[in-house]
Amino acid sequence: MIITTEQVLTALGHVEEPDLKKDLVTLNMIEDIRIDGHKVSFSVILTTPACPLKAMIENACRNAILHFISKEAEVSINMTSRVTTQSNNSLPGIKNIIAVASGKGGVGKSTVAANLALGLAKTGAKVGLIDADIYGPSVPIMFGLEGAKPRATQENGKTRIEPIEKYGIKLLSIGFFTDPDQPVPWRGPMVSTAVKQLFNDADWGELDYLVVDLPPGTGDIHITITQGFPIAGALIVTTPQNVALADARKGVGMFMMPAINVPILGVIENMSYFVPAELPDNKYYIFGQGGGQKLASQIGAPFLGQIPLVKGITESGDGGRPLILDEANPMSAAFIDLAERVAQQVSIVNARAPQSAHIQ
């Protein structure tokens, strides 16, 4: 039996990337085809290491070779990834900026941002996290970094800030530069300058994803960030109550304004229900039910899931070690799922963008 590269490409041309709705060959996702007798090997270049469809795509590729070429073929597939970006990126080295937003305060936006950043890193992506919540920066506490001061160096008359590395990601918080016991009486322009420095003056190096924890609501910082930097998309965190949903809708409205025009990656509902430890089969919908899903369908964005009200989330946040790092806790896997769904949406948005590109 002689197998040719053309046969392999034709067979894999029958495998569709379910999100991007095109076949893997057209999407340039197949590389390194090697054939040795009945042995066939190749690499599949996914758009993110956090791809939730990895196993499914691998199976489909194997089946395509066996079905279209030969049942006798021995197939070996290297599943790898190259995170996509949009080529109009004005921040060199940073492929995708993900803004995490909420209408109201206290709905768990920082909790989602921290666990999302760590979840993306756990799948193998290079990740940074900016805490731009000037009114209540939570990253120093959530990462056990109270009192930490990032190193700043002078380079050709310019200040370079070194992000702090913890748990495998790079971090900067506006809280590292303010006194935690003093209110921050900054005026709009000062806030705007400080936030821009977190992006422009920091040595982020190469990042696949830069997660940005925004302040609640809509304000100066939102305008500064959305107008100053290429945001891949915004993630909306809400709780199920009507009051939270009404505010979340306002937040979404801002991202959708023509002058801002940031795609909504999806809606995450936090504190969806409470499960008492002694009655693990009971779910109590304390704040109502179905609100996040309703918001997502009203704005035509994907609903990315529910996070229950869990004591461990508060404890781990307050204890400086986000819950996702505790692999024995079932919520850890739930946060990884969430990170995968968010990465999937970023890849979809990038593929739809006019100047989308597979850039290393």
Q: Indicate the burial class of 281 (C-beta count within 10 angstroms; 0-12, 13-18, 19 or more).
A: exposed
> Residue 309's Cα: distance from chain center in Å?
21
330 near ligand ATP, rule: CB under 6 A: no
Q: What sign for the dihedral angle of Cα 261, 264, 265, 271?
A: positive
108 is in an annotated binding site: yes
Task: Point out which span in 29-37, 103-111, 156-164, 242-250 binds ligand ATP (CB under 6 A).
Answer: 103-111
Interacting span for ligand ATP (CB under 6 A) from 88-96, 161-169, 283-291, 312-320 = 312-320
Q: Of 312, 338, 104, 121, nearest to 210 (Cα)? A: 121
Sign for the CA dihedral angle at 196, 360, 213, 118 comes to negative
Taking CB under 6 A as the rule, does residue 130 contact ligand ATP? no
105 is in an annotated binding site: yes
Residues 3, 132, 232, 310: which binds ligand ATP (CB under 6 A)? 310
Sign of torsion over alpha carbons 178, 182, 183, 184 = negative
- Pick from 45, 38, 46: nearest CA to 19: 46
> CA-CA distance, 278 to 346, in Å (whole number)?
39
Binding letters toward ligand ATP, positions 51-90, x by CB under 6 A: ----------------------------------------
Is 115 a binder of ligand ATP (CB under 6 A)? no
Which position among 82, 109, 170, 341 is part of the footprint of ligand ATP (CB under 6 A)? 109
Under a CB-based contact definition with an 8 Å cutoff, are residues 50 and 125 in contact?
yes
Contacts 24+ apart (CB under 8 A), 354-360: 355/86, 355/87, 355/88, 356/84, 356/86, 356/87, 357/84, 357/85, 357/86, 357/87, 358/28, 358/45, 358/47, 358/82, 358/84, 359/82, 359/84, 359/85, 359/87, 359/95, 360/82
Measured from each CB, the residue nearest to ligand ATP is: 105
Those residues with Cβ within 8 angstroms of residue 144's Cβ, 6 or more apart along the chain or in another chain: 166, 319, 320, 321
Choice between 9 and 309, CB closer to ligand ATP: 309
E strand or H helix at 337, and its extent? helix 330-352
Evaluate whether 211 touches 243 at the Cβ level (below 8 Å).
no
Residue 82 or 166: the one with the smaller Cβ distance to ligand ATP is 166
Nearer to ligand ATP (CB atom), residue 57 or residue 174: 174
Report if residue 307 touches ligand ATP, rule: CB under 6 A: yes
The interface with ligand ATP within residues 185-204 (CB under 6 A) comprises: none
Pick the closer one to ligand ATP by CB: 35 or 309: 309
309 binds ligand ATP (CB under 6 A): yes
68 or 274: CB nearest ligand ATP = 274
| Ligand-binding site membership of 275 (annotated) | no
- Residue 262 interacts with ligand ATP (CB under 6 A): yes or no: no
* Residue 145 in the binding site for ligand ATP (CB under 6 A): no
Q: Does 173 bind ligand ATP (CB under 6 A)?
A: no
Residue with tokens 């993900």: 98
Residue 317 as a binder of ligand ATP (CB under 6 A): the answer is yes
Residues from 216 through 255 that contact ligand ATP (CB under 6 A): 216
Q: Which parts of this chain interact with ligand ATP (CB under 6 A)?
A: 102, 105-111, 133, 136, 138, 216, 270-271, 307, 309-310, 313-314, 317
Known binding-site positions:
103-110
Known binding-site positions for ATP:
103-110
